Amino acid sequence: MAMPMESPITFTNVGKTKWWQRGLFASQTGYVLLALAVLLLVMHFASPYFFTQGNMQNVAKNFSFIAIATLGVTFVIITGGIDLSIGSMMCFSAMITSMVMTELSMPGSPAGSLFVHMASDGKTVLANVPGLILLVSVFAGLGAALIVGLVNGFCIAVLGLSPFVTTLGMLSIVRGLGYVVSNGRGSFPGGPDADYFYAATSGDVFGVPAPFIYLVMLALAMAVVLHHTSFGRHVFALGGNEKAAELTGIPVVRVKIEVYVICALAAGLQGIIISGWLGSAPANMATSYELNVIAAAVIGGANLAGGIGGPLGAIVGCVLLEVIRNGLVLAQVSSYWQQTLVGVIIILAVLVDRIRSRVS
Amino acid sequence: MTKPDTTPALELTGIGKEFGAIRALHDVDMQIRSGEVVGLMGDNGAGKSTLVKIIAGNFRPSHGEIRLAGNAVHFNRPIDARAVGIEVVYQDLALADNLTAAANVFLGRELKRRFGPFALLDHKAMAARALELFGELRSETRPDDFVKQMSGGQRQAVAIARTRLSNARLVMMDEPTAAISVRQVEQVLSLIRRLKEQGVAVMLISHRMPDVFAVCDRVIVMRRGEKRADKPIHQTSPEEVTALITGAKEAA
């Protein structure tokens, strides 16, 4: 039932927004990216070591250690929520992964006999299928994250509790569970697949750190999901106007649960990767990392009020934090200044965006 | 005027709604035929919005029955009402400011293209269809512009364009002319006439007497949760309707 058009539509009254006032150029992410470029240039002149291959690998590895979790929390922040249980989640997933790995690598135990056998010398433990233990234990760690994410999502979307309070509680619950399952001692990856585990988490491919490769792949996937699927569109709509999302028939409850599950899974994966680098999953691992992760997301342009954010911003935020940390070390400034400076940058980034939106 | 189709597009019988101790609606009967424009008037708190929300599936009625083209319907969610051809333009327009006009038009029913196992958004098709709809509404709105930069009239166009996506049988408009310019009011009214020509039943909820008298065939007046009048527009006058709304005249 198309209606006939009397004449083609014209735009005499409505100007087109100039290209530099649209998209990346007009976003906080754009400004912070510019600031990052300037900072990199300054660092180049300030320290001859900054742009060396070793230091670059170091920087890439270090920011990848929080950036995957930042991608996850960005989903939550776009919907206007928050997840404070990230740090605890990292620890718990890492712990479950290495505990399962150790458990499955014991030839005597009932579960272990399925996966490993003794070599003929009676001392060396061999895997029945190389890599299978690694796969199962990583899935166990991510499974734990999935359950926590579902509980977070259920409390927030179905029971209607505030995201701040729910995830603050979950921060404590998950950290506590970590102490309970490990008796406060933490756990260590072990068994025949431990070498694969270290290679997959802290190894590198042609000089590129493995975590950085995961990060790039996940960020690309996230960009596609956010901007080219209806799920992504609904995530933005939820953050822009939750009531409108509800009225237009978007499954608000489902989308909310999904973003908390994504966030928990990202944190879990991040924790597993960090534990590979540390060589263990201590019970106090990643304590207060949620603050770094949220700070990185906010610096990169994710708006805590909801509706704005993306993978580029998340990564730019993480890189900026890491370059500052790295730069302070190279410049031989006391590392105690780092936290102070991070705080100043959070406020500056948001302030610049505020001034920009006032001006335009 | 002959009425070939005697089954009303929408028929409400004995609709009532209580919120705890508050009786928002009591025993409301009404009918709307296809191609008919009905004005729903009443003061704030008269029960108009509650009635609209019941028809749109936001609330379930405490009493009574809704029939659509003769069949009883029960809505649990707004999407159920939309599935059978009931569209609503909400007073606050229900737009997400951080999305583009086209994204808002297609919110909740995005067009997708399949790439193997994945279904990705078809941005081009959505922008083209949105532009077509804005053209029909004679609104100078670019599909790729963000809603937060738009004027009140453009926002209205986006909200109305949304109802044109499907073959709606009933379009309810909650104060569509409250916050827009005189020229744009004229555009919205002409759109309502076009909907009528297409055989769509339209329910116009408005405070603006001139608009109601300009486009409606019939006017229904609500007061204190009850229907007080239901008259063809040519048998009443703005003065009488005002008296009914304020309660100076109890019923007609």
Instruction: Report whether B138 contacts B167 (CB < 8 A).
Output: no
pLDDT of residue A274: 93
Q: What is the structure's pLDDT at B115? A: 84
- Other beta carbons within 10 Å of B95: 27
Mutate to test the interface with B, among A11, A28, A225, A230 (most CBs of B within 10 A): A230
Best B98, B115, B151 residue to mutate vs chain A (most A CBs within 10 Å): B98
Q: How confident is the model at residue B99 (pLDDT cuts 50, 70, 90)?
A: very high
Q: Does A233 touch chain B (CB under 8 A)?
A: yes
With an 8 Å Cβ cutoff, are A3 and B140 in contact? Answer: no
Residue type at position A257: I
The more confident residue out of A336 and A84 is A84
pTM score: 0.85
- Token match 């939106």: residue? A357
Residues 94-153 of A with CB under 8 A from B: none
∠ CA B198-B199-B204 to the nearest 5 degrees?
100
Reply yes or no on whether the pLDDT at B39 is more than 70: yes
Q: Is B239 on the interface with A (CB under 8 A)?
A: no
Whether the CB-CB separation of B8 and B15 falls below 8 Å is answered with no
pLDDT bin (cut points 50, 70, 90) of residue A11 is low
Higher pLDDT, B107 or B5: B107
Q: Which value does ipTM take for this structure? A: 0.81
Least trusted range by pLDDT, from A280-294, B69-83, B171-185, B216-230: B171-185
CB contact under 8 A, A3 and B167: no
Distance CA B42, CA B205 (A): 9
- By mean pLDDT, which of A346-350, B30-34, B228-232 is the weakest? A346-350
CB contact under 8 Å between B136 and A246, yes or no, is no
Chain A residues with CB-CB distance to B143 below 8 A: none
pLDDT of residue A166: 95
As beta bridge partners, residue B170 has: B86, B201
pLDDT at residue B45, as a whole number: 81
pLDDT value of residue A5: 46
User: Taking CB atoms and an 8 Å limit, are B98 and A1 in contact across chains?
Assistant: no
Residues from chain A that touch B174, judged by Cβ atoms under 8 A, are none
The pLDDT assigned to A345 comes to 83
By the CB < 8 Å criterion, does B125 face chain A? Answer: no
Q: Transcribe chain B into DSSP letters.
A: ---S--S-SEEEEEEEEEETTEEEEEEEEEEE-TT-EEEEE--TTSSHHHHHHHHTTSS--SEEEEEETTEEE--SSHHHHHHTTEEEE-TTTT--TTSBHHHHHTTTS--EEEETTEEEE-HHHHHHHHHHHHHHTT----TTSBGGG--HHHHHHHHHHHHTSS--SEEEEESTTTTS-HHHHHHHHHHHHHHHHTT-EEEEE-S-HHHHHHH-SEEEEEETTEEEEEEEGGG--HHHHHHHHHTSS---
B145 touches chain A (CB under 8 A): yes
* Chain B interface disruption, residue of A241, A246, A308, most B CBs within 10 A: A241
User: Is residue A12 pLDDT above 80, yes or no?
Assistant: no
Which chain A residues have a beta carbon less than 8 Å from that of B99?
A: 233, 236-237, 240
What is residue A126's three-state secondary structure?
strand
Contacts of B92 in chain A (CB under 8 A): 243
Q: Which of B107, B131, B141 sits opposite A237 (nearest CB)?
A: B107
Question: Is it the case that residue A329 has pLDDT exceeding 90?
Answer: no
- Mean per-residue pLDDT, A78-85: 94
The reply to whether A331 touches chain B by the CB within 8 Å rule is no
Residue range B7-22: mean pLDDT, rounded? 86
What average pLDDT does the structure give for chain A?
86
Chain A nearest-CA residue for B162: A248
Q: Which residues in chain A are closer than 8 Å to B52, comparing Cβ atoms?
A: none
Mean pLDDT, chain B, rounded, equals: 85
- For A193-214, how does the pLDDT look when each residue is reduced to its tens digit (9 = 90+)? 888 888 888 888 888 888 999 9
Render the burial of B223-232: b for 16+ CB within 10 Å, e for the rest: bebbbbbebe
**Per-residue pLDDT tens for A111-122?**
777 777 777 666
- Say what the pLDDT of residue B3 is: 46
Residues 6 or more apart in contact with residue A360 via CB below 8 angstroms: A21, A26
Residue B144 contacts A where some CB pair is shorter than 8 Å? no
- Cα-Cα-Cα-Cα dihedral sign, residues A267, A268, A270, A275: positive
Q: Is A287 on the interface with B (CB under 8 A)?
A: no
Q: Which residues of chain B have a CB within 8 Å of the CB of A10? A: 140
pLDDT tens per residue, range A23-66:
666 778 888 899 899 988 988 888 888 888 888 888 888 888 89
